[in-house]
Amino acid sequence: IYYVGPCPAKPGQVIGSAGPTTSGRMDAYAPLLMDHGLRGMIGKGLRSQEVVDSIIKNKAVYFAAVGGAGALLAEAIKEAEVIAFPDLGAEAIYKLRVENFPVTVIIDSKGNDLYKSGKEKYKII
């Protein structure tokens, strides 16, 4: 799942600007989705401990895309099809096909968290 509310596509575009939205807003739903087979999420920002525990339990992964880079990210989206809730516009559910989508693993299936380890590595004691 890519947590995104894309802008409308301009003529000749597959999708408009498609930068990530804050993942924490989805934390109430992520464990249930992972229990039903979800194995990857893309967004930005921190995740709750409940989500991290569910990532470990379900051998899932959380990726981050760079906020503010929506136009660049949209170039990697090769197909976009609304598959549910078309009346919701940007909040509809899309099926996306991407190529070379630039993301970074933030929380891996063992619970290693780049946001935490990055802070620790450069923390001044």
Q: Indicate whether 10 belongs to any domain.
A: no
Q: Are 94 and 100 in contact (CB under 8 A)?
A: no
- Per-residue pLDDT of 26-45, as tens digits, reads 999 999 999 999 999 999 99
Q: Which residues is 42 bridged to in the sheet?
A: 2, 63
Print the domain residue range for 73: 23-120
Q: How confident is the model at residue 125 (pLDDT cuts 50, 70, 90)?
A: low
Sign of the C-alpha dihedral, residues 87, 89, 93, 97?
Answer: positive
Q: How many domains does the chain have?
A: 1
Residue 58 sits in a domain whose CATH number is 3.20.130.10
User: Is residue 14 assigned to a domain?
Assistant: no
Name the helix (H) or strand (E) containing 75: helix 70-75
**Global pTM value:** 0.91
Q: Does residue 15 belong to any structural domain of this protein?
A: no
**Domain contains 17:** no
In a domain, 110, yes or no: yes
How many helical (H) and strand (E) elements, i.e. helices and strands, does the chain have?
4, 5
Residue 71 lies in a domain: yes
Per-residue pLDDT tens over the stretch 45-87: 999 999 999 999 999 999 999 988 999 999 999 999 999 999 9
**48 in a structural domain:** yes
